[in-house]
Structure 1
Amino acid sequence: MKKKFSFLLVLLLALSTFLAACGGNDDAKGGDSGEKGGDKPAEGKEQVLNLLESSEIPSMDSTLATDSVSFNVMNNVFEGLYRLGENDEAKPGMAENMEKSEDGLTYTFKLRDANWSNGEPVTANDFVYAWQKALNPDTGAEYAYIMYDIKNAAKVNAGEVPVEELGVKAVDDKTLEVQLEGPVPYFEALLSFATFYPQNQKFVEEQGDQYGLEAGNALYNGPFTLSEWKHEQSFKLSKNDNYWDKDTVKLKEVNFNIVKDTATAVNLYETEKADVTGLSAEFVDKYKDDPNFKTRADTAVYFLRLNQKNEVMANVNARKAIDAAYDKQGMVDVLMNNGSIPAYYLVPKDFVSGPDGAEYRETVGDFGGYDTEKAKEYWAKAKEELGKDSVELELLNYDSESSKKIGEFIKEQLETNLEGLTVSIKAQPFKQKLDLESKGQYDFSFAGWGPDYPDPMTFIDMFVTDGAHNQMAYSNKKYDELVEKAKGELASDLEARWQAMIDAEKILFEDQAISPMYQNGTSYLERPYVKGILRHSFGADNSYKWASVE
C-alpha cells in the first residue's frame, strides 16, 4: 500500500504516478480533512460528491489488492475490526470492544451486531476465513506478509503448517481471538488495513473466480456499497443502508469519473461536474490565488526501482550513477510545483518519531544527491566493469500526462549526464504496469509507496530478499537480518528495534538499491461546500464516512 498510496482517492493530477502496493495513484490525491460531517447540510443541496480518479480499480478482493486505488475504494465499502478516524486514530469498526492480555500477545474482540449488504450478519468466522485465505500459499497474496505478526502466519504462508494452525479463531459468532508472535504497539491501527477485512465465505465461494470483478460480485459491510462500476470509465459509491452506523453517513452518493489528463479534470471542475480536482504545475500558477486552492503535504515517497535482473542495474556503480545524474530539486520545482519535495531517503519526513521523541528523518538524515561529476565517475567505472561503451535501458512508466513528463525529464537528464546511455520509455496503464513489475519484466521503473501503518517498517521491509514488493531482485543478507530482528527478537526493546531499522535503511542506500525521487505534495481545488473528508497519513488515503455537502 500500496498502496496503500497509498497509502488519497480524490483526483490529484499533479502527478499521474501510482503506488504499487499501497502503492497507488498519486493523481488520485486531494481533498480536505475538515471536521466530521455532523453539521446540517444546506437546504436543497443534494448529498452527492462528484470526484475524479485517474485509474481503473485493479482489484476488489481484499486478499489480493496491492494498490492505493483499490484500497481507497475498499476503505469506504468494507470495514475491518477498526477503521481510521480523525487524526488517524484507530476507531472501533466491526469490533465493539477488545481485551488484551498482559503480555500483549492475545487479543479478544467482541463483534458488534452488523450485517453485510445482503442482510447476513458479519461473524467472527468471516475474519477467520478471510485471514486464512490471505495467508494460504495457494492464494498468492502479495500482502500476506503484513499479517506475519499473527502466530504461525509466516509458517502458514510458506506452506509449512496448515491454515487451521493460524493464531486466529472464532470462539463463537461474535467473539474473535487473535494470538500474536510478539507484541505489536500499532496492532489496532494495522487492523484497519484492507488485508485484515472480513469476507463472507459462502458468498465468495459462490462467486468463484468472478468474486470482486463487478460491483455485484462482492458483499459490502462498510459505510457505502460499490453500486456501479463501468470499467475504465466510472464507478459509484452509494450509502449502505445495512451499515451498522448508517446514521452517521450523510452522503447519498460519491461518483467517480476516470480521467487521465489535468486539462480535462480542470474543465470538469470549472463546469461544475467535479467538486475536487488536482492541479499540475501549469495549473498551480493559474489557480494559486483562487480561494478554493489548497495544498497538503503527503507521506508517499516516489522512487526508481532498479531491477537487478538487468545486467547493468546489477552493477552498484551504475545504480549510483543513475541516482546522482538527475536534478530532483529542479524536477519538483519546475515539473510539479505542488508542494512535493526532493527525496534522498525511503522513510518520509514528518511521518513517525522514535522512542526518544525525535522525528525519524531528522535522526537519520539524507542519502546521496544531485552531482553530475560523481555521476560521471560512477558511470565510467560501471561501463569499465561491464565491458560496455554504450548501454540501452527501458524505463517502465505510467500512461498519464504528468508521469510522462517526469519520465521524459529523467530520460533527458540521464542521457545528458551519462555518456553512452540511451533510455527508452514504456508507458503502460496502471494495472498492466503493476503486473510487469510483479513479474520483474522491466529494467527500471517509476514507482512509489505510501505507508500502510504508522511505523518505519512499512517502508523498510519492502526490500527483504524475495519480498512480495521487492520486485527488483535486490538482496542483502545483513539487511534481511536487521529487518528480521526488528520484527522479532527486538520487538520489546524499542530503542534497539528503532536502531535496527535505521541501520537497514543505511544499507539500502550503501547498495543504492533504489533511487528516491520525491516525497509527494498535493495542490488542488475543492468546492467550499465539501466538508469532512478525512485524509490519512497511512493506510487508505481518504474516508468519506464523515463527509457531507453543506
Structure 2
Amino acid sequence: MKKSLLALVGTAIVGALFLAGCGKSSSTTSSSKQVLTVATSAEMATLNTAKYSDTTSLEALQNSFEGLYRFNSKSKPILAGAQNVKVSSDKKTYTVTLRKNAKWSNGDAVTASDYVYAWRKMVNPKTASPNSQRFEAIKNGTEIAAGKMAVNKLGIKALGKYKLQITLESPISYFKELMTGAPFYPQDQKIAEKYGSSYGTTASKTVYNGPFVVKGWTGTNLKWEYVKNNNYWDKKSVTLKKVNVQVQKDTSTAAKLYQTNKLDYTQLSTDYITQYKKTAGYHTKSIPLIGYMSFNVHKTTTANVHFRKAIAMAFNKTMLTKDVLHAGTALNGIVPANFAYNSKTGDDYRKDAGNMLTYNLKAARKQWALAKKELGKDKITVELLTSDTTESKQVGEYLQSQLQSNLKGLTVTVRSIPLKSRLAATTAYDYDIVYGTWQPDYADPVNFISDGGQYHLDDDYNNTNFRNLLNEAATTYATNTNKRWSTLIKAETQLIKKDAYTAPVYQGAMAYLLKDKVKGLQISPYGTVLFYRNVHIK
C-alpha cells in the first residue's frame, strides 16, 4: 500500500465509556468466579496482527496483545509495553525503553527485536497486510510497502534487548494513540517463525503478551475463551478470570439468551433495538463507525465513474437508518461527524467538509443514463457482496430494493457469506460491489480518507491529484493546521465526490444489553471493540 500519513490537526472528543447496566437480573456465573459471557455477531478470522481486517479479530487482538501504549479507563493512551519514551527536539525520533518484566504467554521475554520483526513484517509487500498503510507515519513505511525499498530500512531499530528507536517521516501529534493499535503490536519472533504461514490461524499457534490469552479457537469454530494471562506483567490489575465468547449471528437468539441469563452482554441490531430498548441493561451510543460500499474497479461496469455515482446517490440513507437499522445517521462523506475537530477553530471536520454524495434521485438517474451510454447497455446486472450477519443481510436487501427501484434496467443480486469468506473474497477481487463497516484507529480525518476500509485503495486508486494532496498535507502543511485541514477536504472531495471510489452509506450507533453486575467494561473510543482488562463482576 502506498498512502501518506498526515499529521494530526483535530482530536476526537472521546471519553471513557463504561458500560453499566441498570437491571437486577441474576447471572449464570457467580461473581466469585469472575467469569463473563458475551456474544459477538461474527466469527474470528485471524490472531495474526499482520493479517486482521475484521472487528472480531481486532477485539481478540486488543485483549490478548499489548503494544507500547494502551488506553486507560478514561480512554486516554498510557504507557503499556513501554516503560519510558523520550522524544527528540524535532519530534521525529522516539527512544523507547521497554519493560523488562514483560513476557509472552510461553514465558519468553518481550524484546525490542519482537517489535522490529513484527513491524517489518507488516510493511513487507509479501505479507500483503490490509493494514500496512498504518505505517506511513514511520520513516520509509510508504516506500517499503510499495516494494520500492528494503524492509530493513523501516524507521525502527533495536538499540538493545529492551530499547527501541522509532523514526517518523514527519512530526505527528497522535503518536500515542497510533501506538495503541493492533498493527503496532510485537510478535514473538521465535513462535511466528516456527509456525510460518499458519501462525495466528488457531489459538494454539499464537502466543500473547496482553492481559488475556485466547483458548479454544481452532480457526473455524464459533466459541472461544479469553483467559487471564498469568505471565502478563501487570496481572495483579486484572480481576476477570475468563471471558466466554460465542458467535450469535442472529440478534433475536442473542437477546433471548441475555434475557434468560445465559449471556451477560450482547449487541443489538436492526429491529431488535426497538424491541429491547426498554429491557434492563439497554444502552446506546453514537460511534465513529461507518457503513460503506466499495467497488471492484477491475470490472468494466464498476470501473465506470458514472455507474459508481449513480449507485452512491440512488438510495435513501435516512430511511435506512430510521426504518431498517433503527440507529445511526445518514453519511454523505467518508469521514464521520463528531469524530475529528480542527485544533485551531474547534470545528467538526464533517461540517467543514460538507456533503459529498447525498441521496439525490435526479442526479443519480442522470449519472445512470451516462453509465448505460458509455457501457453500451440498457440492462445491467451486478452482485452486492455482504457478510451473513443479520444486520449486513438486511442492509444488503435494502440497498438491493432501493437501487433496483430507482435505477431502471439495474438488477442487483445479493450474496451473503460468512465474514471470513467475505474478507477473502474482497482480497481476491471476487466481487462487484461489497458492503461493509469500518471503524478508525486514531482521531484524524486521514484515517478515513487514506483508509476507511476502502478495499484496494492504495493499489487501485492512483489519482494524481489525490496523492499529491495527501503528500502536501503530510509534508508541506504538516504543522499548518488550517491549510492541512483544507487540503484534506480537497482530497476527500476528489476521492468521494468527484470519483465516487467509495459510496458512504451511514454512520453507526451502538446499542447493547449489559448485566448490572458487570463493572468496568469499556468500549474503544473508535468503535465497538470491547476492552476486558478493567472488568470485574460485582
TM-score by length of 2: 0.90
Q: Give 3-state SS (helix, strand or coil) of 2:533's partner.
A: coil
1:249 maps onto 2:238 in alignment: yes
CA distance in 1, matches of 2:347, 2:58: 30
C-alpha displacement of 1:433: 0.8
* 1:491-530 equivalences in 2 (<5 Å): 491-508=478-495, 509-530=497-518
* Residue 161 of structure 1, CA deviation: 3.4
Is 2:50 the partner of 1:63?
yes
- The letter for the 1-side match of 2:353 is V
Aligned-partner Cα distance in 2 for 1:138–1:513:
26
Secondary structure, aligned partner of 1:358: coil
Does structure 1 residue 33 correspond to structure 2 residue 18?
yes
Q: Secondary structure at the match of 2:204?
A: helix
2:24 aligned partner: none
| 1:159-200 deviation per Cα after TM superposition (whole angstroms, max 9, x unaligned) | 443333222111111111111111111111111111111111
> Residue 269 of structure 1 aligns with which residue?
258
DSSP 3-state at the match of 1:88:
coil
Partner AA of 1:443 in structure 2: D
Cα deviation, 1:452-475, whole Å, max 9, x if unaligned, reads: 1111111111289xx974289444
Paired residues in the alignment total 512
Q: Is the 8 A contact 2:19 2:514 kept in 1?
A: no
**Is the partner of 2:429 in helix, strand or coil?**
coil
Taking every aligned residue pair, what percent have the same amino acid on both sides? 36
Rounded Cα–Cα distance in structure 2 between residues aligned with 1:116 and 1:499: 45
* Alpha-carbon distance in 2 for matches of 1:166, 1:511: 32
Cα distance, 1:64 vs. partner? Answer: 1.9
Residue 443 of structure 2 corresponds to residue 454 of structure 1? yes
Amino acid aligned to 2:68: L
Q: 2:70 aligns with which of 83, 86, 94?
A: 83
Aligned residues of 1:462 and 1:469 also touching (Cα < 8 A): no
Unpaired stretches in structure 2, ≥5 consecutive residues: 1-15, 21-28
Q: Distance in 1 between matches of 2:77 and 2:112?
A: 19
In structure 2, C-alpha distance between the alignment counterparts of 1:332 and 1:202, rounded to whole Å: 48
Bigger mean CA deviation after superposition, 303-312 or 218-227: 303-312
List per-residue Cα deviations over 1:238-262 (Å, max 9, x = no partner).
0011111111111000110111111
- The equivalent position to 2:411 in structure 1, one of 418, 422, 444, is 422
Matching residue of 1:324:
313
Q: Closer, same or farther in 2 for the Cα pair 1:304/1:44, shift >3 Å? A: closer
What amino acid does structure 2 have at the position aligned with 1:433?
Answer: R
| Pairing 1:165–2:165 present | no
Distance 1:34 1:279 in 2: 14
Say which of 271, 274, 277 aligns to 1:288.
277
Determine if contact 2:287/2:526 at 8 Å carries over to the other structure. Answer: no
- Aligned in 2, Cα 1:154/1:441: closer, same or farther, shift over 3 Å? same
Shift of 1:280: 2.9
Aligned counterparts, 1:442-481, within 5 A: 442-462=431-451, 469-470=456-457, 473-481=460-468
* Paired residue type of 1:92: L
Deviation at 1:397, TM superposition (A): 1.3
Change over 3 Å in CA distance of 1:275–1:463 after alignment to 2:
closer
Does the 8 Å contact 1:529/1:549 carry over to 2? yes
Give the superposition deviation at 1:117. 0.9
**Cα deviations across residues 199-227 of structure 1 (Å, max 9, x unaligned)?**
11112212223211221211111000012
Partner in structure 1 of residue 12 of structure 2? none
- Distance 1:539-1:174 versus aligned 2 partners, 3 A rule: farther
Q: Is the 8 A contact 2:35 2:242 kept in 1?
A: yes
Q: Which amino acid aligns with 1:403?
A: S
List per-residue Cα deviations over 1:121-147 (Å, max 9, x = no partner): 111111111112222232222222211
SS of corresponding position for 1:195 = helix
The residue aligned with 1:404 is 393
Code of the aligned partner of 2:340: V
Q: 1:540 to 1:90 in 2, by over 3 A?
A: farther
In structure 2, what is the Cα distance between the partners aligned to 1:172 and 1:49? 40
The Cα offsets for residues 527-549 of structure 1, whole Å up to 9 and x where unpaired, read as: 11111112122278221111111
Residue 392 of structure 1 contacts residue 422 of structure 1 at CA under 8 Å; is this kept in 2? yes
Shifted more, 111-120 versus 281-290: the winner is 281-290
**What's the counterpart of residue 521 of structure 2?**
533
Does 2:173 match 1:185? yes
- Label 1:167 to 1:373 Cα distance change in 2 as closer, same or farther (>3 A): closer
User: Within the alignment, does 1:354 sit opposite 2:342 as a pair?
Assistant: yes
- Partner letter of residue 481 of structure 2? L
Check if 1:196 corresponds to 2:193.
no
What is the Cα-based RMSD across aligned positions, in Å? 2.2
Distance (whole Å) between structure 2 residues aligned to residue 100 and residue 246 of structure 1 = 29
Match of 2:211 in 1: 223
5+ unaligned residues in a row in structure 1: which ranges? 1-30, 36-41
Per-residue CA deviations over 1:299-346 (Å, capped at 9, x if unaligned) read: 011111122223222222222222222111111111111x31111111
Which residue identity lines up with residue 250 of structure 2 in the other structure?
A: D
2:357/2:504 contact within 8 Å kept = no
**Which of 133, 154, 158 is the aligned partner of 1:145?**
133
User: Normalising by structure 1, what TM-score?
Assistant: 0.88
Alignment check: 8 A CA contact 2:42 2:249 kept: yes
Structure 1 residues 363-397: Cα deviation after superposition (integer angstroms, max 9, x where no partner): 12222322323322322232223221111111111
Corresponding residue for residue 92 of structure 2: 105
Once the two structures are TM-superposed, the CA of residue 43 in structure 1 deviates from its matched residue by 8.4
